[in-house]
């Protein structure tokens, strides 16, 4: 997979995030599953762009500034006048369980492939080494947007790009419509080379009884490289006709599990792009995910995110 002349593209949404701390005050940050992965890929020195749409407000400006500071190319972030980005409010219930409340119905990221300059994004997608997106990405778009997006990644794949996908199923993003979610995700899976699902998400969306069942279902779509994340348990890899469990090297009690999967995906993809085999890449992915969960918030200090 080592093709250094081309960049990777992560496609999805970056949100304004307000997180309530232990003192009851809220801290302002930016987040988003594919945005988090783009940041960690950039920190691993992978040339990467983030494709999305934002408004022309100061909060959107701050997201773009963060991306630039992290070394992410921002030429594929479209700007929609008089629009505001999605808002995510993070707090905890009485038992301390993390809760996320989102307001994204009018966010411009939902219209990425319907805005006036959408063709510029689609054209750029067809000339990269890697396209990464998630189930949350798919949940954003209308049927028109989905058709354009899927056509773009199909062209990218035909041009030699690897297509990587994490199901990252969030029922609320689909308004509880499991039938539409399954239909859309199934269409996407026909165009995927590297699947990076979390088993608990797959169990909810598809009813998979085990990680092994997840692998078998995904292999039926012709996906040649599958890594099933399973929390503190081993990641299960299926590649080149073999299966192997790669255990978490150091199980720790997480301070905050936010973005653990996003970090895992970045660690895995960065290692694969550097020419390492899937088992070695999974080890690097575990290591990065382990660092992410040792810190609060999705984006951790730079010193804690080296990919080895």
**51: number of CA atoms within 13 Å, CB side?**
29
Q: Is 91 a catalytic residue?
A: no
Sign of the four-CA dihedral 51, 54, 57, 60: negative
Give backbone dihedrals phi and psi of 249, rounded to 5 degrees, phi first.
-70, -30
Tokens of 31: 């987040």
Q: How far, in Å, are 56, 61, 114 from residue 82 at the CA level?
A: 6, 13, 16
Annotated catalytic residue: which of 33, 166, 208, 262? 262
Cβ partners under 8 Å of residue 96, min gap 6: none
State how far the Cα of 266 lies from the Cα of 284, in Å rounded to an integer. Answer: 9
Q: How far, in Å, are 104, 120, 199 from residue 209 at the CA level?
A: 32, 42, 9
Residues paired with 55 in a beta bridge: none
Catalytic residues: 262
């Amino acid at each position: 997979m080592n093709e250094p002349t081309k960049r990777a593209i992560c496609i999805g949404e970056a949100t304004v995030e307000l997180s309530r701390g232990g003192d009851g005050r809220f801290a302002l940050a930016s987040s988003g599953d594919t945005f988090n992965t783009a940041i960690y890929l950039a920190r691993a020195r992978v040339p990467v762009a983030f494709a999305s749409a934002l408004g022309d407000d100061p909060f959107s400006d701050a997201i773009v500034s963060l991306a630039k500071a992290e070394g992410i190319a921002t030429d594929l972030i479209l700007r929609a006048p008089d629009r505001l980005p999605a808002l995510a409010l993070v707090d905890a219930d009485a038992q301390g369980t993390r809760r996320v409340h989102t307001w994204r119905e009018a966010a411009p990221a939902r219209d990425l492939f319907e805005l006036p300059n959408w063709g510029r994004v689609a054209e750029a997608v067809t000339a990269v080494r890697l396209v990464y997106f998630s189930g949350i990405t798919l949940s954003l778009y209308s049927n028109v947007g989905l058709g354009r997006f899927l056509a773009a990644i199909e062209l990218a794949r035909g041009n030699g790009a690897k297509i990587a996908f994490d199901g990252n199923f969030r029922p609320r993003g689909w308004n509880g419509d499991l039938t539409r979610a399954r239909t859309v995700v199934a269409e996407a899976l026909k165009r995927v080379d590297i699947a990076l699902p979390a088993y608990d998400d797959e169990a909810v969306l598809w009813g998979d009884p085990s990680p092994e069942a997840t692998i078998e279902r995904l292999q039926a779509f012709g996906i040649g490289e599958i890594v099933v994340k399973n929390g503190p348990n081993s990641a299960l890899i299926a590649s080149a006709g073999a299966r192997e469990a790669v255990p978490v090297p150091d199980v720790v009690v997480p301070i905050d599990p936010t973005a653990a999967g996003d970090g895992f995906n970045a660690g895995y993809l960065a290692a694969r792009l550097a020419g390492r085999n899937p088992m070695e890449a999974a080890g690097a992915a575990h290591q990065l995910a382990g660092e992410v969960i040792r810190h609060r918030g999705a984006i951790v200090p730079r010193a804690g995110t080296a990919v080895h």
